[in-house]
Structure 1
Amino acid sequence: MSYINKITETLGKEADSLLQHKSTKIPKERLEIPGPHTVDTFRDSDRNPQVLRSLAQLYNHGNLGGTGYLSILPVDQGIEHTAAVSFYKNPDYFDPENIVKLAMEAGCNGVASTFGVLARHARKYAHKIPFIVKINHNELMTYPNKYDQIPFGSVLEAWDMGATAIGATIYFGSEESTRQIQEIAAAFEEAHQLGMATILWCYTRNSGFKKDGKDYHSAADLTGQANHIGVTIKADIIKQKLPETNYGFRDIGFGKQNEDMYNTLSTDHPIDLCRFQVANCYMGKIGLINSGGGSQGDSDFEAAVKTAVINKRAGGCGLIMGRKAFQRPMKDGVEIINSVQEVYLEDKITVA
């Protein structure tokens, strides 16, 4: 089935720019393109057979199974954003079983959530859909609020739960990032020894990343370097926010950078900015999934499809979308997730 007409209509006036763009700064021929062979590319790595099996479980499940692309439902906002503000639009999701049910109804590759959410119904569902257990979080009960990712449980606990993978967040650039890098590097090594896959939320966080009224937290160069550190500590999949700008190192005035670096690697086109991120994931040898972002209401469908098109055409391997799905009735949540999956199932949408 072809979805191209539906996708083109959803993109509206941006359709030509997004669907016809050709990336020339980093040509697609340099990338490892997602496909049915994706898990096989790890055979050259040090990942043991159990990790390859876990990756295969994740990549071969759901509506995108066998394509090399991922559609993951992440719901950890009950801790990260407070449960009340996250679930008041649809209180059904205070019940953790409905989170798992949404992922299954939508044909997701896996469901990512907290120890508590996934543990509560592990015996009923862990063998039916891959579980991705988030092992650390930022809690918002400390006053004044602080921003630090701390472990909420052990890697072994996630394994005993039947998890296919663990997920973790590092706030790169924060005062606590050195400790977080060390903690998660050790956790990922333990997860690999047990046979689980690893997914890293590579977020930047520093008040200094805002300058002259401009926010560089999603700059391609800063997020790209966060990705590069993430793959260095052996994340099997990188989760990153879609880049909205560039020149973070240059304009803030830190790190190592020069103008030729930017001119050589990217343009200001959103697909090229995202390709900057993919390049920092070992030229796509470690898959990049972009986050779907918060819910803005009626524009969510268009925004979700646009993000998926940018990610796919940049060389990424999927989307991890939560609030746009669970902050609406389950039927509508399934529909928006399926609309994203259609982008990755549409053969006419190719890597730029």
Structure 2
Amino acid sequence: MSTNKILELLGNEAQYYLEHICKTIDKSLIHIPSPETIDKIWIPSDRNIPTLSNLQRLLNHGRLAGTGYVSILPVDQGIEHTAGASFAPNSLYFDPENIVKLAIEGGCNGVASTFGVLGSVARKYAHKIPFIVKLNHNELLSYPNTYNQIMFGTVKEAWNMGAIAVGATIYFGSEESRRQIIEVSEAFEYAHELGMATILWCYLRNSNFKKDGVDYHAAADLTGQADHLGATIQADIVKQKLPVNNGGFTAIKFGKTDKRMYDTLTTDHPIDMCRYQIANSYMGRVGLINSGGESNGISDLKDAVITAIVNKRAGGMGLISGRKAFQKPMNEGVELLNAIQDVYLNPEITIA
């Protein structure tokens, strides 16, 4: 997708997203993704050589190879949102092979999915595209449902199927979050020992995070702190929703805050709020990938491009987009994934 097509797609919002200058946290302070990401950011760390090699393998695959950015296809919705609801829009994706084919045809750096999905086709595809195995899930068959991520397999099982990384979710703010922190941190330690990279879905879940009719589950201050906790347990990459508002701590009246979190380090512009998330991820040393979110039909292409622009201009590492890609015909899914990647390949879209 050329710059002219991006401008056409954004319409009267183009200036808002493409010309914004971040005056909160200066871009010079951010560790911006680059072809030298491993050498400049990860070599000084305590990651072992096999882990660095697998991180480099992820960064060297697909259309974004060698840029420092990633485009990942995540399909764990068969458990997280029920298979019927997730794959009814395109029943091809009940077959795991089509999930992997979409990631390959779409030029992704890697494919993230469940033990069952990736294990069923591992011998055929694990050497063709980097596998990221999701270790835990919140399944929706137990009733009443609770916000609880439980382990579905082991790190060793993911290693045996040839995965280069493991992923996990922690529902920060939930009653079960402290148990999940312990489980995931131990799993990540073992994954690093075996030479695999680690990606953490840093999501928030608590009914009290809704106040006076406003939902703060994607507030910059709360999600930023979740990212910081993810970086603390040594996630190599954190996955987070794009911020939609701010002031979660102050609205709910808990935690510790400083007024500069709201009047100096952020504004209400989405790029500035995303940069605050990145600041909490060790100023970008731990890469931030934002999620693509649910499919909204006709607006999916525009929504995905905007999310990619915000992430890139804030200093993020890329996008992890699933439902917008697989809940439509494969050729349209490939087109959407390529459009996301084109944002990161476009030298005219720069850090704000």
Query: Which TM-score tier does this pair reach, normalised by the shorter chain?
Result: over 0.9
1:293 aligns with 2:299: no
Alignment partner, residue 106 of structure 1: 106
Mapped to 1, the partners of 2:313 and 2:260 lie a distance apart of 24
Answer yes or no: is the 8 Å Cα contact 1:72–1:320 preserved in 2.
Answer: yes
Q: CA deviation at 1:106?
A: 0.5
Alignment partner, residue 13 of structure 2: 14
**CA displacement, residues 268-291 of structure 1 (integer Å, 9 cap, x when unaligned):** 001001001010010011100000
Alignment partner, residue 127 of structure 1: 127
Mapped to 1, the partners of 2:2 and 2:61 lie a distance apart of 21
Q: CA deviation at 1:48?
A: 0.2
Alignment partner, residue 64 of structure 2: 64
Secondary structure, aligned partner of 1:201: strand
Secondary structure, aligned partner of 2:224: helix
**CA displacement, residues 130-176 of structure 1 (integer Å, 9 cap, x when unaligned):** 00000000011111111100000000000000000000000000000
Answer yes or no: is the 8 Å Cα contact 1:228–1:280 preserved in 2.
Answer: yes
1:179 aligns with 2:179: yes
Secondary structure, aligned partner of 1:283: helix
Q: CA deviation at 1:7?
A: 1.1
**Mapping for residues 1-352 of structure 1, pairs under 5 Å:** 3-40=2-39, 41-352=41-352
**CA displacement, residues 188-226 of structure 1 (integer Å, 9 cap, x when unaligned):** 000000000000000000000000000000000000000
Secondary structure, aligned partner of 1:288: strand
Mapped to 1, the partners of 2:296 and 2:264 lie a distance apart of 35
Aligned partner of 2:36: which letter?
H
- Long gaps (5+) in structure 2: none
Q: CA deviation at 1:258?
A: 3.0
List 4+ stretches of structure 1 deviating above 4 A. none
Q: CA deviation at 1:262?
A: 1.3
Answer yes or no: is the 8 Å Cα contact 1:133–1:163 preserved in 2.
Answer: yes
Using the size of structure 1 for normalisation, the TM-score is 0.99
Answer yes or no: is the 8 Å Cα contact 1:250–1:258 preserved in 2.
Answer: no
Mapped to 2, the partners of 1:214 and 1:280 lie a distance apart of 23
Using the size of structure 2 for normalisation, the TM-score is 0.99
Identity over the aligned pairs, expressed in percent? Answer: 67
Greater displacement, 191-200 / 259-268 = 259-268
Aligned partner of 2:219: which letter?
A
- Long gaps (5+) in structure 1: none
State the aligned residue count: 351
Aligned partner of 1:172: which letter?
F
Greater displacement, 141-150 / 338-347 = 141-150
Aligned partner of 2:33: which letter?
P
Mapped to 1, the partners of 2:10 and 2:285 lie a distance apart of 29
Answer yes or no: is the 8 Å Cα contact 2:221–2:261 preserved in 1.
Answer: no
